A and B are shown apart, each in its own frame.
Chain A
Amino acid sequence: MAGSGTAHLRDRADALLRVEHLVVEFPAAGRGRKVHAVSDVSLDVLPGETLGLVGESGCGKSTLGRAVMQLPRPTSGSVRFGGQELTALKGEPLRRLRPQMQMIFQDPISSLNPRRRVGDIVAEPLAVWRSGQSHGDVQAAVRAVLADVGLDYDTAADRLPHQFSGGQCQRISIARALVLEPKLLVCDEPVSALDVSVQAQILNLLEDMKARYGLTMLFIAHDLAVVKSISDRVAVMYLGKLCEVAPSDGLYDAPTHPYTAALLASIPVPNPEVRPGVGGGTLSNDLPSPIDPPSGCRFRTRCPRAGQRCAEEEPVLRHCGDDHWVACHFPVGKLGQALSHTGPDAMAD
């Protein structure tokens, strides 16, 4: 799985977000050692689209989301937002673009300042950008956005975050992100810390807000089931690389990368007759260290189909179906078989 390559990028000028060859590395303990958190990932998101980004913990998906926001900046690669190259911007010009792209975080408690009142937290973006606005206008805007996320200004505004449940805190975070009416919303595992019943509420809320505010979303999660319901297109990440990119339905109907197949097979089915792991095979071993990733295909150490070629040659994303892209030498499933018959790389273009 390599996931290098840009064949899956759609050749459209209106893409709201276009990430190319993004690399994020952190210094690790020891001289010259680096954590390869994100290695040569390319993505694009069209206006109004939701791109789901899935992968297990530690695969670099949150790092990718933050690199898109330039917090911190990526090591190399290009992030273009509405035609603007963000990696080339610094200081004030970058700051001026920030209201157009907002982020919500995994931990609803940690993402709210415990010492500030909810009304002030949600009004903070307005205080930064519309300091000339009257108190009444600010309050009206906060009241409106809180109502949009299902909270009542009069009961909520004077309270501190710890007086709310996790789901309510996540609503407050969403309100803060939306009050500036951004174009792009990066959701970094927004529901992983919540109870399942509350997860559904927050996902529905995000869908509603997407429609109401005309949002484009980059939705990061480790749970394929969560991503499926909300995404138009899904990208599967493994150890800093992309494995498979496909429309949501296509990915779930015909997983083509062995890793995607294994992930889908690991979704629990509420039926005692169904044996876990049948079909895709479960994954053995742990995620290899991102400090010293495997050669060739990074997934090969855990892949049931890995062969000699996987250690030597890094697979590149290639076309295997209707807007369906996979980075694997030995893809699985019906699309994978078709790909094997036509021979490797025959459909790459």
Chain B
Amino acid sequence: MPEPQPDPASADVEHGSTGRRRLGLLFWASVGWLGLIATLAATADWLPIPDPTRPGVAPARQPPTLHHLLGVDVLGRDMLSRTIHGARVSLVVGFSSIAFGLLVGGAVGVLAGYFRGRFEAIAMGTVDVLLAFPALVFALALVSFLGPSLGTVTLAIGVLSIAPIARIIRASTLAFAQREFVLAARTVGARHRRIIVNEILPNVIPAAVSFALVAVAVAIVSEGALAFLGLSVAAPTPTWGSMINEGRTVLQDAPHISFVPSAAMFLTVLALNFAGDSLRARFDVGEGRL
């Protein structure tokens, strides 16, 4: 005697309430901000803004005016132009370093969580060593060895992101690898690669993506910290971190020089966090009922 089928009408109601959760205004505002920053950064060369490295476009430390909407810095360079060009470094470093970390750390985490055993012991031992290593010392060493450049900063932050990402992904993989649908796939005779691709990854990726967005925010702040210490892209190329650093000495006379890049970084990080959180909530399938 079969149970009654879910009739389409009631199932659609259920679908509407749990499956298609609305992403909400906050998410779209965040995506809008990130999109705006990304577009401006990508098209910066064609925008009608002054050269970000040309000094003396206005009296130094001039606060915001109609001609220079965000004011000018200590050398008389246009702050709007510098903030937009600085976004390039921040965004490129933020996203590519985490993409690198996700690729390496994600692979290590999934394999460790799925296969367990000796590989897991070695991989996670290495990860623990990486975590224990002082991040700043590592970045300093790498930069002094390879020289400050976009690639070096990305590599440094990317390598540093491997360990936490591997841990998170391993934990998430562990939780799913012990579920019975994985055992069911093994009783069917599916090979490991097939199980990882079909059963594990679809469950791990959504969590990984939302975590990655938060990690991008951390990476952007880290780039700022490295730039602040002069370990990022060499001057005069603007980055948000180096701009904050330049404004530090004149914080009392011309607070806008530090404040403008700080605000840009703050909004971007906040937007990334909101977007990550909303995505995680949105793609959380309704489990645990029953």
A162 touching B285 by the CB < 8 A rule?
A: yes
Interface members, chain B 184-243 (any A CB < 8 Å): 184-191, 194, 198-199, 202-203
Interface members, chain B 232-286 (any A CB < 8 Å): 285-286
Partner of A201, one of B1, B15, B187, B203: B1
- Return the chain B residue nearest A99 by Cβ: B189
Partner of B180, one of A107, A129, A171: A107
Partner of A110, one of B19, B180, B185, B202: B180
Interface members, chain B 146-184 (any A CB < 8 Å): 179-181, 183-184
Given contacts A115-B203, A150-B3, A160-B285, contact A128 B180 (CB under 8 A): no
Interface members, chain B 1-26 (any A CB < 8 Å): 1-3, 5-6, 8, 11, 14-15, 18-19
Interface members, chain A 177-227 (any B CB < 8 Å): 177, 180, 198, 201, 204
Interface members, chain A 141-158 (any B CB < 8 Å): 150-152, 155-156
B288: chain A residues at CB < 8 Å are 109
A105 touching B194 by the CB < 8 A rule?
A: no
Chain A interfacial residues counted at CB < 8 A: 50
Asked if A166 lies at the interface with its beta carbon under 8 angstroms from chain B, I say: yes
Give Cα distance in the complex from A301 to B202, angstroms: 48
Given contacts A105-B184, A155-B5, A160-B285, contact A95 B290 (CB under 8 A): no
Give Cα distance in the complex from A7 to B122, angstroms: 47
Contact with B along A32-76 (1 / 0, CB 8 A): 000000000000000000000000000000000010010100000
Give Cα distance in the complex from A116 to B200, angstroms: 11
Chain B interfacial residues counted at CB < 8 A: 34
CB distance from B257 to the nearest CB of A (A): 48
A164 touching B6 by the CB < 8 A rule?
A: yes
A107: chain B residues at CB < 8 Å are 180
Asked if A101 lies at the interface with its beta carbon under 8 angstroms from chain B, I say: yes
- Return the chain B residue nearest A94 by Cβ: B189
A114 touching B287 by the CB < 8 A rule?
A: yes
Given contacts A71-B186, A98-B188, A103-B187, contact A111 B3 (CB under 8 A): no
CB distance from B188 to the nearest CB of A (A): 5
B18: chain A residues at CB < 8 Å are 162
Partner of A114, one of B11, B186, B190, B203: B203
Partner of A115, one of B2, B14, B183, B285: B285
- Return the chain A residue nearest B206 by Cβ: A115
Asked if B67 lies at the interface with its beta carbon under 8 angstroms from chain A, I say: no
- Return the chain B residue nearest A100 by Cβ: B189
Given contacts A162-B285, A162-B286, contact A98 B184 (CB under 8 A): no
B11: chain A residues at CB < 8 Å are 155, 159, 163
Asked if A167 lies at the interface with its beta carbon under 8 angstroms from chain B, I say: yes
Asked if B118 lies at the interface with its beta carbon under 8 angstroms from chain A, I say: no
Main secondary structure of the interface of B (DSSP, over half): helix
- Return the chain B residue nearest A180 by Cβ: B188
Given contacts A71-B186, A103-B184, A105-B184, contact A113 B202 (CB under 8 A): yes
B202 touching A124 by the CB < 8 A rule?
A: no
Asked if A231 lies at the interface with its beta carbon under 8 angstroms from chain B, I say: no
A248: chain B residues at CB < 8 Å are none
Contact with B along A104-128 (1 / 0, CB 8 A): 0111111111111000010011001
A198: chain B residues at CB < 8 Å are 3
Partner of B202, one of A95, A115, A128: A115
B287: chain A residues at CB < 8 Å are 109, 114, 162
Give Cα distance in the complex from A176 to B188, angstroms: 9
A177: chain B residues at CB < 8 Å are 184
- Return the chain B residue nearest A121 by Cβ: B181
B184: chain A residues at CB < 8 Å are 103, 105, 111, 173, 176-177
Give Cα distance in the complex from A102 to B1, angstroms: 23
List residues of chain B with CB under 8 Å of any chain A CB.
Answer: 1-3, 5-6, 8, 11, 14-15, 18-19, 179-181, 183-191, 194, 198-199, 202-203, 285-290
The 10 residue pairs across chains A and B that have the minimum distance between CB atoms: A150-B2, A98-B189, A111-B180, A115-B202, A105-B180, A162-B286, A113-B181, A125-B188, A110-B180, A95-B189
20 A-B interface contacts by CB (under 8 A): A71-B186, A102-B187, A108-B290, A111-B181, A111-B184, A113-B202, A114-B285, A116-B199, A124-B185, A124-B198, A128-B188, A129-B189, A150-B2, A151-B2, A162-B18, A162-B287, A163-B11, A163-B19, A201-B2, A204-B1
Given contact pairs A111-B181, A124-B198, enumerate 18 new A-B contacts (beta carbons under 8 Å): A71-B186, A71-B187, A95-B189, A99-B188, A99-B189, A111-B183, A113-B181, A113-B198, A113-B202, A151-B5, A155-B8, A162-B285, A163-B6, A166-B290, A168-B6, A169-B290, A171-B2, A177-B184
